[in-house]
Amino acid sequence: MPRFALLIEYDGAQFQGWQRQAEGQPSVQATVEQALAALEPGPHSIAGAGRTDTGVHATGQVAHCDLTRDWDPFRLMQALNWHMAPHPVAVLQAERVDDTFHARFSATERRYLFRLIARRAPVTHDLGLVWRVLQPLDLSAMQQGAAHLIGNHDFTTFRSGQCQAKSPVKTLDAITITQHAIAGGQEYRFHLRARSFLHNQVRSIVGSLERVGSGSWEPGRIAAALAARDRAACGPVCPPQGLYLTGVGYADNPFPSVNPAN
């Protein structure tokens, strides 16, 4: 059966996450599978690179599917988008891949972005797409705190109590924080890169770094929280609407026209 890789973006606000849910609960996976069933009647099961939570967005999710017909990739993309309308899900690119390709298990890295806006005025155009706080944050302090998290660590403090990963040990390859002037305030963008992440790891890290940026925590408290290996030492978990899965890396990139750094 021909296998295709799909590059997908979505607004997660109206979905109960990526993963297929119980009957009646909308998910991104089910939306794509329903579109596939419209093209080739019968059950379909796709695999995604990341199981994003309720309300989390994606600009670079990757999934794969097996089909009976050897579709032209461009026509497959067009047909899926037609059948998924008006849901806020779009296939950006479809490519034929080898049968050994697996969207999840072949991935060598995942990249996330978290957007945080600090301003007094309410959010209008980015409503549901960012986390808003009222006061500006100390960028340098957050960068100092984030530096403690780079490398291979036991991230028990920064994972959900419902996390199903066998081990809390992960390697965080990079975390960068940038500040951008916007009308009425500042936007802070947190970019994180790792082979894989624990459940709620990114939101737990950003929530703790916001405490540093606000002055409630000293940067060194991030190191102490990490060393504690205790969920109680974590700062507040930030809301999901500012989080985006922006890209998935592979040894053999199925989308050569897409910049893997995005």
User: pLDDT digit of tens for each residue in the chain (262 aa)?
Assistant: 899 999 999 999 999 999 998 777 899 999 999 999 999 999 999 999 999 999 999 999 999 999 999 999 999 999 999 999 999 999 999 999 999 999 999 999 999 999 999 999 999 999 999 999 999 999 999 999 999 999 999 999 999 988 889 999 999 999 999 999 999 999 999 999 999 999 999 999 999 999 999 999 999 999 999 999 999 999 999 999 999 999 999 999 999 776 655 5
| Domain at 3-105: CATH code | 3.30.70.580
pLDDT on residue 259: 60
Fold exhibited by the domain 108-245: Alpha-Beta Plaits (3.30.70)
Given this model, what pLDDT does residue 39 score?
96
Specify the amino acid at residue 95.
E
Whether the domain at 3-105 and the domain at 108-245 fall into the same CATH topology: yes
pTM for the full model?
0.95
Give residue 23's pLDDT.
74
pLDDT of residue 164: 84
Catalytic hit among 53, 72, 99, 154? 53
**Both tokens assigned to 96:** 């034929």
pLDDT of residue 179: 98
CA separation for the pair 223, 239 (Å, rounded):
23
Confirm whether 99 is a catalytic residue: no
Tell me the domain boundaries of the chain: 3-105, 108-245
- Residue 211 backbone zone (phi > 0: left; psi -120 to 50: alpha; other: beta): alpha
Tens of pLDDT along 107-146?
999 999 999 999 999 999 999 999 999 999 999 999 999 9
What is the predicted pLDDT for the residue at 253?
93
